């Protein structure tokens, strides 16, 4: 449990230090002055970026362009995107939900690229000895989830697919570490959660899957950047995307080694990480119109649930060069 808490624990002191102490320039004063560019990359303990950091290949690729890389760690996607908004980083990775909330708060972010769909990487799970066998059995039950997260959208889709609504269940909003504790002591009947917490619950306490996101949600991972940096230094981001794509392909072919690289930062067992990695979407590609449309569905659902204060248009957070691309 302590290792899981460390992944997404609210570390306000860390964020304050990042915002106050790491406000170095993410770009040079002139777009042409490439030798003075520093790309500050925000990353979390789990995902592709910590693997990229450990392997060091991105730094080598950008060094040839006169670009220096600095890494800044964040406890979770919302804090990372706040760092992007205030200028402490110019690039980072997050799931579907954080950029929607950031855009609703008038963030300066722009979508750069995404990994392919990973619907199996999130699920609705129950304790191994639970009497619940189907989504229909959730009527009147207590379900834990992280409010406004990817799995919040998954729950909405699961309920709709089974002719249920939020009024038919009792939603308990808890962050992953608290939800895991409530799940283990029986304070909630089910938990909607993503990897690596999902994989950890399967391996460590025998949690049983009722439904995954398959055929219901996309569950993309997004790479996002400061808009000004993206517009001034497209060649830098092109190199980053190419490197990310190459490394995700390496991860796909070397999942055991990738799990070992993530073991130290996450504190999770290799077997847990191997399960989690196997459910990733491999490859990194520019945002297509289809992916933007799917992300708009998530944003609209959050607005309908009054999770964001106003309706937003994902298209407004895309670079013009990306808006017409197809998958």
Range of weakest confidence among 7-11, 57-61, 297-301: 7-11
Looking only at the bridges linking them, the beta strands covering 91-94 and 222-226 are antiparallel
Would you list the DSSP string of 116-172?
Answer: PP-GGGEEEEE-TT-S--SGGGGTT-EEEE-TTSHHHHHHHHHHHHTT--GGGSEEE
DSSP letter at 207 equals -
Q: What spatial distance separates the first Cα and last Cα of the chain, rounded to whole Å?
A: 39
Q: Does domain 2-117+219-266+276-317 have CATH number 3.40.190.10?
A: yes
Radius of gyration over every alpha carbon of the chain, rounded to an integer in angstroms: 19
312 has a pLDDT exceeding 70 = yes
Position 32 scores a pLDDT of: 44
Position 319 scores a pLDDT of: 81
Distance CA 17, CA 88 (A): 10
Position 16 scores a pLDDT of: 40
Would you list the DSSP string of 260-300?
Answer: HHHHHHH---HHHHHHHHHTSPP--EEPPHHHHHHHHHHHH
- CATH-assigned architecture of domain 119-212: 3-Layer(aba) Sandwich (3.40)
List the structure tokens of 193: 């959660």
Verify cis geometry, omega within 30 degrees of 0, for the bond prior to 196: yes
> What is the band of 35 on the pLDDT scale with cuts at 50, 70, 90?
low
Position 92 scores a pLDDT of: 97
- Rounded to an integer, the average pLDDT of 232-243 is 94
Can you give the residue ranges of every domain in the chain?
2-117+219-266+276-317, 119-212
Position 31 scores a pLDDT of: 43
Q: What is the pTM of this model?
A: 0.85
13 has a pLDDT exceeding 60 = no
- Rounded to an integer, the average pLDDT of 169-178 is 95
Mark 216-237 as b/e (b = at least 16 C-beta within 10 Å): bbbbbbbbbbbbebbebbeebb
Position 7 scores a pLDDT of: 45
Kindly report, residue by residue over 261-285, the tens digit of the pLDDT: 999 999 999 999 999 999 999 999 9
Residue 165: CB atoms within 10 A of its CB come to 10
Position 60 scores a pLDDT of: 92
Asked if 2-117+219-266+276-317 and 119-212 have one fold, the answer is: yes
The CA-atom distances, in angstroms, between 102 and each of 44, 97, 149, 324 are: 17, 9, 12, 23
- Rounded to an integer, the average pLDDT of 42-56 is 95
Residue 221, SS3 per DSSP:
coil
């Amino acid at each position: 449990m302590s290792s899981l808490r460390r992944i997404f624990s609210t570390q306000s002191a860390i964020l304050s230090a990042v915002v106050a102490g790491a406000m170095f320039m993410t770009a040079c004063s002139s777009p042409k002055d490439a030798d003075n560019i520093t790309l500050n990359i925000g990353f979390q303990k789990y995902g592709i970026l910590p693997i990229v950091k450990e392997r060091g290949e991105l730094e080598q690729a950008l060094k040839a362009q006169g670009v220096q890389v600095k890494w800044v760690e964040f406890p979770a996607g919302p804090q990372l995107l706040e760092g992007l908004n205030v200028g402490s980083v110019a690039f980072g990775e997050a799931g579907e939900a954080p950029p929607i909330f950031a855009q609703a708060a008038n963030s300066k972010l722009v979508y750069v690229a995404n990994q392919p769909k990973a619907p199996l990487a999130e699920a609705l799970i129950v304790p191994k000895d639970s009497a619940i066998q189907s989504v229909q059995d959730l009527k009147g039950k207590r379900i834990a989830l992280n409010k406004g997260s990817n799995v919040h959208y998954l729950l909405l889709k699961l309920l709709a697919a089974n002719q249920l609504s939020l009024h038919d269940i009792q939603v308990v909003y808890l962050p992953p570490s608290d939800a895991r504790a409530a799940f283990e002591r029986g304070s909630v009947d089910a938990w909607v959660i993503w990897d690596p917490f999902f994989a950890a619950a399967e391996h460590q306490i025998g949690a049983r899957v009722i439904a995954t996101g398959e055929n219901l949600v996309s569950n993309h991972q997004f790479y996002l950047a400061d808009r000004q940096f993206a517009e001034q230094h497209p060649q830098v981001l092109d190199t980053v995307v190419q490197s990310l794509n190459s490394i995700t392909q390496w991860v796909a072919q070397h999942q055991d080694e990738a799990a070992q690289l993530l073991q130290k930062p996450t504190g999770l067992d290799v077997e847990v990480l191997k399960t989690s990695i196997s459910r990733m979407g491999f490859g990194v590609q520019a945002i297509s119109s289809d992916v933007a449309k799917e992300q708009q569905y998530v944003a609209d659902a959050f607005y309908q649930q009054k999770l964001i204060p106003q309706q937003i248009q994902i298209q407004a957070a895309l670079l013009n060069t990306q808006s017409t691309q197809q998958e």
